[in-house]
Amino acid sequence: MTHRVLSLRRRWRKAWRKCGAAVTQAVGGHPFLAGIAGTAVAVAMASLTFLTLYDGRADALQHAHETSENLVSLISSDLERNVEIYDLSLQSMVDGAQNPATWHLPAGLRQAVLFDRATSAAFLGGAYVLDSAGRVRASQNGELNPAVQLDDRDYFLAQQRCPAVGLYVSHPFRSRLRGGNLSIGLTRRINTPDGAFAGVALLAIRIEYFQRLLDKISVGKAGSVFIVLDDGTLLARKPFSQSAIGTTIARSPTFMAMAAHDEGSYVAKSAVDGVPRIFTYAHVPSTPWIAVVAPAVSDVFAEWRRRSLIAGGLTLALGAVFVVVAWLLAFTLQDKVAAQAELVRLAATDPLTGLSNRRVLDSRLDEEWLRARRNGSPLSVLFVDVDHFKGFNDTYGHAAGDEVLTAVAECIDSVVRRAVDLVARYGGEEFAVVLPETPAEGAAAVAEKIRRKVQGMKLSFGASEHGTVTVSVGCATCLPAQGGSASGLMAAADAQLYAAKSAGRNRVKSAASVY
């Protein structure tokens, strides 16, 4: 049994050593793998943490939204219930005022008929019956002031002009009967027996009613709760601002959203004080009022932000340490890999022109030959030779000759643009171009572009019949699937090059089909 255990341990150790060697080889071949892996792990850890924190933020927002909806519902229910009670009183006042017998009753009895107990409720500023001229015909407290005219009030004009208005809720106004107290009016139309306008039944509600209702609501230090008319007129607000009552917020983006829908919730800056808040609102049924609860964003996310700063800070600190360690490991391998890469590059690159060298050409040509044979596609090769290059060297020197070779190499490389193509220095003043999947016509067109571009450089060469440096190009194309060899294709291109030179140089010769 002991022997078996020892054998299993040895096998596990051997497997771990192999795994470690494979990891070491992979990291050694890709020095930044350690840094990337470490960064990825740190990012994954941070992402999980921040995702959790984001979920916490969403929970805080949802909780605030639900709380605000409940508060809006309470405010709306209170307003709706009281308006319903007041409307019943108004209808009773209208019924009494439209009965001619009411006005022949003794004053005390007439008061009892016109005004019920609901008209004495808290925050009700007064109950009045106005005649068709806007004068007070009867009042709850029995006081009549013939000098006061109310025919210019919005509630009076609305009832006078339209018999179908029904219950009308006025804008805030300063009372002319109660020392300028700020109030709103609930009114209904009084008609004569033939349907003509006979006056208005009015209940005046002090603005304090709305303010006391809002004072009971808690929405945080910077939160706000308010009641606004559907045309944007502000009736009450917490925190209280005397100057804001009666003003309009109709043009503010926050109100436009409220006016467009019966209820909803959104985040925006307050039109009154500019504080970002989460606005939850609902239109109070049967009224032109909108109840709004708007806790401040800073209050809603205060606790979540405190927790997030602690958790996020620790996550970022630990993640940063992890990333630094991972990249230190990566950088220790960077120099070694860079040196190896430079050696590989030098082994594959011609030092003068920067093009691929003969070794890369041979290897790549074999690869493209096999690929073309599998795919049944054509393969083309160009041989490019600088005309009279020996004479140029003898005339201008080898340094100038090297400059010419470099310029010609840049010309060829600029013409051969496809990623699958290969430009290589074959040797001396000769260059080779491998063009996969290129028919003879295409190869000849590329060769002609190279010839023209080199001649277009106008590199002065007095001994040439053209006066400038020129090149001759030999082209060969074949279908590897039909036989032949890569070396045969190269030999054919070389033969076409010599044909171009024999024909006078500075020209292109092609072998359309080589097998």
For residue range 53-106, list pLDDT tens digits in order: 888 888 888 888 898 899 999 999 989 998 898 899 899 999 999 999 888 888
Contact between residue 27 and residue 34 where contact means Cβ atoms under 8 Å apart: yes
Supply the angle between the helices 32-98 and 207-215 in degrees, to the nearest 10. 140
- Clarify whether residues 476 and 398 are in a common domain: yes
Query: What is the rounded distance in angstroms from the CA atom of residue 82 to the CA atom of residue 77?
Result: 9
- Clarify whether residues 379 and 460 are in a common domain: yes
Q: Domain ends where: 265, 298, 331?
A: 298
pLDDT band of 199, cuts 50, 70, 90:
very high
Query: What is the rounded distance in angstroms from the CA atom of residue 442 to the CA atom of residue 435?
Result: 9
φ and ψ at residue 219, rounded to 5 degrees: -130, 30
Q: Using a pLDDT cut of 90, give the percent of the chain over it.
A: 36
Does residue 451 sit within a domain? yes
The first and second tokens of residue 24, run together, are 């070491």
Q: What is the CATH number of the domain that holds 377?
A: 3.30.70.270
Q: What is the CATH number of the domain that holds 253?
A: 3.30.450.20
Does residue 42 sit within a domain? no
Between strands 276-283 and 173-174, the pairing is unpaired
Q: Say which residue the tokens 């190009």 belong to.
A: 473
- Clarify whether residues 395 and 503 are in a common domain: yes
Query: What is the rounded distance in angstroms from the CA atom of residue 47 to the CA atom of residue 53?
Result: 10
Is the confidence at residue 509, as pLDDT, over 80?
A: yes
Does residue 432 sit within a domain? yes
Q: Domain ends where: 265, 282, 298?
A: 298
- Clarify whether residues 289 and 418 are in a common domain: no
Contacts of 277 (CB under 8 A, 6+ apart): 222, 223, 224, 267, 268, 269, 270, 294, 295, 296, 297
Is the confidence at residue 206, as pLDDT, over 90?
A: no
Cβ neighbours of 262 (radius 10 Å) = 10
Count up the domains in the chain and report the number: 2
Mean pLDDT over residues 371-386, rounded? 94
Does residue 183 sit within a domain? no
Q: 401: left (phi > 0), else alpha (psi -120 to 50), else beta?
A: alpha
**Nearest partner of 384 among 461, 452, 308, judged by Cα:** 452
Does residue 489 sit within a domain? yes
Q: Which domain holds residue 378?
A: 358-511
- Clarify whether residues 478 and 363 are in a common domain: yes
Is the confidence at residue 10, as pLDDT, over 50?
A: yes
**Nearest partner of 476 among 515, 514, 425, judged by Cα:** 514
Residue 233 DSSP class: B
Contact between residue 218 and residue 225 where contact means Cβ atoms under 8 Å apart: no
Contacts of 176 (CB under 8 A, 6+ apart): 148, 150
**Nearest partner of 360 among 431, 437, 412, 448, judged by Cα:** 431
Q: Domain ends where: 298, 314, 336?
A: 298
- Clarify whether residues 413 and 498 are in a common domain: yes
Is the confidence at residue 130, as pLDDT, over 90?
A: yes
Does residue 310 sit within a domain? no
Query: What is the rounded distance in angstroms from the CA atom of residue 315 to the CA atom of residue 28?
Result: 29
- Clarify whether residues 288 and 416 are in a common domain: no
Question: In this predicted model, what pLDDT tens digit does every residue of 291-338 receive, in sequence order?
Answer: 999 899 888 888 888 888 888 888 888 888 878 887 787 777 776 666
Question: In this predicted model, what pLDDT tens digit does every residue of 403-459 receive, in sequence order?
Answer: 999 999 999 999 998 999 999 999 889 999 999 999 999 999 999 999 999 999 999
- Clarify whether residues 366 and 492 are in a common domain: yes
Q: Give the H or E element holding residue 182.
A: strand 182-191
The first and second tokens of residue 108, run together, are 């005390």
Q: Say which residue the tokens 């009045």 belong to.
A: 128
Residue 186 amino acid letter: L
Q: What is the pLDDT of residue 21?
A: 46
Does residue 418 sit within a domain? yes
Mean pLDDT of the chain: 85
Does residue 159 sit within a domain? no
Contact between residue 212 and residue 121 where contact means Cβ atoms under 8 Å apart: no
Mean pLDDT over residues 174-186, rounded? 83
Q: What is the pLDDT of residue 372?
A: 94
Cβ neighbours of 180 (radius 10 Å) = 10
Residue 163 amino acid letter: P
The number of CA neighbours under 13 Å toward the Cβ of 157 is 5
pLDDT band of 261, cuts 50, 70, 90:
confident
Task: Work out the angle at residue 290's Cα, subtended by the Cα atoms of residues 289 and 296, and round it to the nearest 5 degrees.
Answer: 145
Residue 464 DSSP class: S
pLDDT band of 515, cuts 50, 70, 90:
very low
